[in-house]
Amino acid sequence: MKEKDLTEIIAKQEEKPQGLTFPCHYPVKALGKNTNSFLQEVLFIAQKHCKNTQQCDVSCKLSRNGKYQSVTINVYAENRQQLENLFAELQQHNDVKWLL
């Protein structure tokens, strides 16, 4: 491999962003039991960690049989710790079965 080719490869790698760049919008998806309060509880937790989260940032889909619901909330995260705290609290919720 020529030195010029290696230099170009290294330069291109340096141009690529490494992970998330904060602040940013980030979709948080929680799958859980289809209860009357699940969506509101997940939204409450998101608002606790990401203050600017509103009802319009939320979408919800029911599973085919209606037993579960998938709640997606687009949060505006200021830093990684904020997202980690949000995910940690959601994982502790009894009705949350899966997070993405």
What's the pLDDT tens digit per position in 4-27? 566 776 666 655 556 789 999 999
From the list 32, 58, 33, the residue with the least C-alpha distance to 44 is 58
pLDDT band at 32 (very low <50, low <70, confident <90, very high): very high
End-to-end CA distance of the chain: 41
pTM listed for this prediction:
0.79
From the list 58, 91, 85, the residue with the least C-alpha distance to 72 is 58
Residue-range domain boundaries for the chain: 20-99
Q: Which fold has domain 20-99?
A: Alpha-Beta Plaits (3.30.70)
Spatial distance between the Cα atoms of 76 and 57, rounded to a whole number of angstroms:
10
Which tokens belong to 33? 């039991």
